Amino acid sequence: MTVKIELPNNIKYDINIDELKQIKLNRKVVVVTNPTISALHLEYLLKHLEAKELSVVTIPDGEQYKNMQTIEMILDHCFENRLDRKSLLIAFGGGVIGDMTGFAASLYQRGIDFMQIPTTLLSQVDASVGGKTGVNNKFGKNLIGSFHQPIEVNIDPSFLKTLPKREFAAGVAEIIKMAVTFNKEFFVWLEENALDDEKNLATAIAKSVQTKAWVVSQDEKEQGIRAALNYGHTFGHVIENETNYNTFLHGEAVGIGMVMANAVAVEIGLMTQKEAQRVIELLKKYDIPTAYNIADAESFYAHFFLDKKSSDNKIKFILPKGIGDCVITDEIEKENVIKILKGFNH
Ligand code: NAD
C-alpha cells in the first residue's frame, strides 16, 4: 500500500508500506545506521540497494547519542566520501537514526535529500513521516532541529520481527496516541484486535501512517493541528528529562504522559473517567507503563517551560476530547495541573 503526502509548498512523497522493493539510485548514497540494526538487517538492505557509490556510516546506538557530536560524525563521513549536492542519505533504523539523518541531510551543503527506511514500530508509524528532524541537548529533547522532508519512506513491517518486546510496545503507544486524538473507530478496532497478528499489525501501521500523513499535509510546520500529535509528549518529555533519558523509552514516557493528560482532561470535563480508563486498559494490554512517581509537582510543572511548544509563559496542552478528538489549549489553570500531578499514582 502507498500513502501519499502532498504539502502546499509542492513537496510530495510516497510512503510505501510493503516488503522492501529494489531501490535504484543513480547518485552517491550514504546509509546511516547503528551496530544493532547493522548486525540484524544491513545485509538485507544492501541486497535491495543499487547506487552510483555506496557507503555506510555506523553511529552509536541510543537516545543519549542523539546529539550534535553524532551529527558531526555523520557530516564528517559525508565530506570524507565527497558527497555532492545530488547525493542522498538513507536513514536505516529507528526514530533516533531517522531524526539525526534527516537533520544531517538538512545541514550538509545547505541541504541534500534523504530517504527513510524505518525499522522500529515507533518510527514506522510516526517518526519517519513528516520531516521533523533534530537532536537533544542538555536543555531538553529535540530542541535543535529543522523541518526537512524525506523524498520517500519505505516501511517494511518484516523488520519488526527482531524488535524487542518493550520497543514494540513503545511503538504501540504512538499508535494509541493517533487513535485517541483523531480516530475513535480506530481506537475501538485496537480494543478488539491484537497487534501480535501480522495482518492486524500491517493494518494498524497503515491506519497510523494515513492519520499522520493527513495531519502533516495540512500543517507541515506545526502552526495548528499538527501539535495534536504531541498528545502525551508535553508530560512525556518531562518524564524523560527527569529520568535522564535512561529509565523509560520515548514511547513509554509518552504512554504515561497520555494518562496524565487524560487525568487533566477528566478534571476539566473534557473526558469521562470511563474513557480515561479505556485508554489505560489498552496501554496495559501491551504492558506500556502507566505509572510514574512525581517527586515534586512544582518542579515537574516548571519543566514544561523548556518544551518548545511553550511560549509567552503559557504551556500548550493537548488534551483528549472524549476518544477520537482533542483540543490544543494554553488556557489550563496551573492549579488544575498541579492537583493532577500531586495525586498522580496510577
Ligand atoms: P530508537 O531509534 O532508539 O530504536 C530503539 C532501539 O531499537 C535501538 O536500540 C535500535 O538500535 C533498536 N532497533 C531498531 N530497529 C530494530 C529492529 N528491527 N530489531 C531490533 N532492534 C532494533 O527508538 P525509536 O523508538 O525508534 O525512536 C525514538 C526517537 O524517535 C526519539 O528520539 C523521538 O524523539 C523520535 N521521534 C521523532 C518523531 C518525528 O516526528 N521526527 C516522532 C516520534 C518520535
Cβ of residue 94 lying under 6 Å from some atom of ligand 1: yes
In this prediction the pTM is 0.93
Residue 139 or 156, more confident: 156
- Closest atom of ligand 1 to 36 CA is 11
- φ, ψ of residue 31 to 5 degrees: the values are -90, 125
166 is an active site residue: no
Q: How many Å apart are CA 31 and CA 17, to the nearest integer?
A: 20
For residue 160, the ligand 1 atom closest to its alpha carbon is 18
**131/268 same-domain check:** no
- Residue 175 shares a structural domain with residue 137: no
Domain boundary among 161, 194, 216: 161
148 shares a domain with 272? no
Centroid of ligand 1 to alpha carbon of 94 (angstroms): 3
CATH of residue 336: 1.20.1090.10
Owning domain of residue 73: 2-161
Query: Which residue, 138, 161, 184, sits at the end of a domain?
Result: 161
Claim to verify: residue 147 and residue 172 sit in the same structural domain: no
* Annotated catalytic residue, options 28, 41, 142, 174: 174
User: What is the Å distance from ligand 1's center to 124 Cα?
Assistant: 9
Q: Across the chain, what does the average pLDDT equal?
A: 94
Q: Are residues 195 and 89 in the same domain?
A: no
Residues 198 and 154 occupy one common structural domain = no
Residue 245's pLDDT is what?
Answer: 83
Do 125 and 148 belong to one domain? Answer: yes
Contact 73, 13 (CB under 8 A): no
Crossing angle of the two packed helices 250-267 and 233-242, in degrees rounded to 10:
130
Which of 134, 161, 188 is the endpoint of a domain? Answer: 161
What value does the CA radius of gyration of the chain take, rounded to a whole number of Å?
20
Residues 138 and 94 in one domain: yes
* Closest residue CA from atom 30 of ligand 1: 95
Summarised one tens digit per residue, pLDDT across range 169-225 is 999 999 999 999 999 999 999 999 999 999 999 999 999 999 999 999 988 888 888
Q: Could you tell me the distance, in angstroms and rounded to a whole number, from the CA of residue 170 to the centre of ligand 1?
A: 9
State whether 124 and 220 are in the same domain.
Answer: no
For the record, the C-alpha cell of 204 comes out as: 494498524
Nearest-atom index, ligand 1, CA of 66: 32
User: Sign of dihedral through CA atoms 53, 101, 79, 83?
Assistant: positive
pLDDT at 235 > cutoff 80: yes
Residues 152 and 187 in one domain: no
State whether 129 and 209 are in the same domain: no
CA of 95 to the centre of ligand 1 (A): 4
The model's pLDDT over 58-96, given as tens digits with 9 standing for 90+, comes to 999 998 899 999 999 999 999 999 999 999 999 999 999
Domains of the chain: total: 2
pLDDT of residue 308: 61
3-state SS, one letter per residue, for 224-291: CHHHHHHCCHHHHHHHHHHCCCCCCCHHHHHHHHHHHHHHHHHHCCCCCHHHHHHHHHHHHHCCCCCC
Cell of 96: 533516533
State yes or no: is 148 an active-site residue: no
Per the residue annotation, which of 28, 237, 278, 309 is the catalytic one? 237
Supply the CATH number for residue 51's domain: 3.40.50.1970
